[in-house]
Amino acid sequence: MGESRLDMGRVWAARGVIDRVFLDSPQYRCEALEGALGCGVSVKLETANPVRSFKGRGTELVASRLAAGGARAVVCASAGNLGQALAWSGRRRGLEVTVVASRFATKAKLDRIRALGATLELVDGDHELARERAAAIAEYEGIRLLEDSLDLETCEGAATIGLELMEGTPTFDTVLIALGGGAMATGVGYVVKELAPDVDVICVQPHGAPALTRSWHERRVVTTDSTDTIADGVAGRFPIPEVLDDLLLIADDAVLVQEESIISGMRLLYNHAGLIVEPSAALGVAAVLEDPTRFAGRHVLTIICGSNVDLPTYHRWIGTPGG
C-alpha cells in the first residue's frame, strides 16, 4: 500500500497559519454521557468558533496561501459548513468568495454564508451538482476551485485536531470520526496513527449516504445514485480516489448507522451534555448506541464537528419545545 498524501511536518506548520480562534478547541471527559452509552466518553468540541464547525482549520490554510500568492478569488461547493468557513477566512484576507450549494441545504448555513459576505449560488440538485457548477465557475473565471477532502489543505487543517487529541497522555483507546468527504477522517486519523498507532480509528457514516464506507470495505471507489439522510454534511455520492487511498491506510473500521440512532445521539448530547449539534456531529454517539457491546469497557473520543442547524427542525427531530 502506498504512502499517505499527508505530511506531519506540514500539519505541525499549519498550526502557525490557522487563526487561533480555531485552535485548541475544548476537549474533555463527558461523564454525563457515560451512563447512557455504557463506556468512557470524551468529546472534542469543534463548534466553539466563529463558523461552528471544524472546517475553518482547512480554509485558513487555503485563504492564507491564496492571499500570499496574490489571488483575488476562490470558489467552492458546500453543503454549508465549508462555505461558511471559506467566507470567514476569505473575508479576513480580502478574497472574493463564491459558494455553490444546493437550494435544499440547511437554511441557517445558507444565511450565514451570505452574512459573511460570500456570493452564494444555489443549484436545483444535490451536493454533487453543486460541485460540477463550482468547477465550471472556476474554469470560466480562472480562479481557484477549493475541493474539500481532495485539496490537502482541508485534510491537513483538520489534522491539527489530531495533534490536540494527542497532547499529553491520551486516556481514550478509540476515536469515532464522522465520515463524509473524508477530510476530517483522513486528517485526524493520520495523526492519531502516527502518534498513537494502538488507538482505534473508526469512521461513521449514515446508511443513507454510504458511498465512502462501502468503498473502504470493498477497497475500490463505490458510488451511489442518491442519498437519503438528515446528516447533510456527510451526504456525498462520489468518493474521491485519493481520499479513499488515505482512508485505507488509517481507518481500523468504517460503520454505517441508522437515522433513528443519529437522532437519539443528538438527543443524548442535548440532554446529557448541553450540546446542540447537527446530525453529522452525532454520528460517533450513534455508533456506540447501535453496538454497545463492542464499546463496553472502552473509552471513546468523538469529535463534535458542527452545530449549524435550523433550530425549528432540530427541535422537531429531538422532541423538545421550539419546533
Last residue of a domain, one of 116, 145, 174: 145
CB 98 within 8 A of CB 73: yes
- Residue 178 shares a structural domain with residue 31: yes
Q: What is the pLDDT of residues 68-101, one digit of tens each?
A: 999 999 999 999 999 999 999 999 999 999 999 9
Indicate the SS3 state at residue 71. Answer: coil
Q: Please report which confidence band the pLDDT of residue 227 belongs to, taking 50, 70 and 90 as the band edges.
A: very high
Q: What is the pLDDT of residues 97-128, one digit of tens each?
A: 999 999 999 999 999 999 999 999 999 998 88
Domain annotation covers residue 242: yes
- Residue 48 shares a structural domain with residue 95: no
Domain annotation covers residue 2: no
- Residue 115 shares a structural domain with residue 210: no
- Residue 93 shares a structural domain with residue 74: yes
Q: Please report which confidence band the pLDDT of residue 323 belongs to, taking 50, 70 and 90 as the band edges.
A: low
Q: What is the pLDDT of residues 253-279, one digit of tens each?
A: 999 999 999 999 999 999 999 999 999
How many other CB atoms are found less than 10 A from the CB of residue 169? 6
| Separation CA 243–CA 189 (nearest Å) | 12
Range of the domain at 69: 54-145
Q: What is the pLDDT of residues 38-74, one digit of tens each?
A: 999 999 999 999 999 999 999 999 999 999 999 999 9
CATH number of the domain that residue 117 is part of: 3.40.50.1100
- Residue 99 shares a structural domain with residue 208: no
How many other CB atoms are found less than 10 A from the CB of residue 183? 29
| Separation CA 144–CA 158 (nearest Å) | 20
Q: Please report which confidence band the pLDDT of residue 322 belongs to, taking 50, 70 and 90 as the band edges.
A: low
- Residue 285 shares a structural domain with residue 251: yes
Give pLDDT, residue 161.
98
Domain annotation covers residue 323: no
Domain annotation covers residue 68: yes
Domain annotation covers residue 266: yes
Q: What is the pLDDT of residues 236-246, one digit of tens each?
A: 999 999 999 99
- Residue 189 shares a structural domain with residue 43: yes
- Residue 313 shares a structural domain with residue 235: yes
* Residue 67 grid coordinates: 492571499
DSSP secondary structure string, 98-149? EEEEETTS-HHHHHHHHHTT-EEEEESS-HHHHHHHHHHHHHHHT-EEE-TT
DSSP secondary structure string, 234-284? G--SS--HHHHHHHHHH-SEEEEE-HHHHHHHHHHHHHHH-----GGGGHH
Give me the amino acid identity at 243: V
Give pLDDT, residue 168.
84
- Residue 105 shares a structural domain with residue 89: yes
Give pLDDT, residue 77.
97
Q: What is the pLDDT of residues 164-223, one digit of tens each?
A: 999 988 899 999 999 999 999 999 999 999 999 999 999 999 999 999 999 999 999 999
| Separation CA 147–CA 162 (nearest Å) | 21
DSSP secondary structure string, 7-23? -HHHHHHHTTTS-GGGS
- Residue 26 shares a structural domain with residue 156: yes
- Residue 168 shares a structural domain with residue 232: yes
Q: Please report which confidence band the pLDDT of residue 291 belongs to, taking 50, 70 and 90 as the band edges.
A: very high
What total number of domains does the chain contain?
2
Contacts for 197 with CB less than 8 Å, ≥ 6 apart: none
Q: Please report which confidence band the pLDDT of residue 1 belongs to, taking 50, 70 and 90 as the band edges.
A: very low
Domain annotation covers residue 3: no
- Residue 216 shares a structural domain with residue 277: yes
Last residue of a domain, one of 130, 145, 160: 145
Last residue of a domain, one of 94, 129, 145: 145
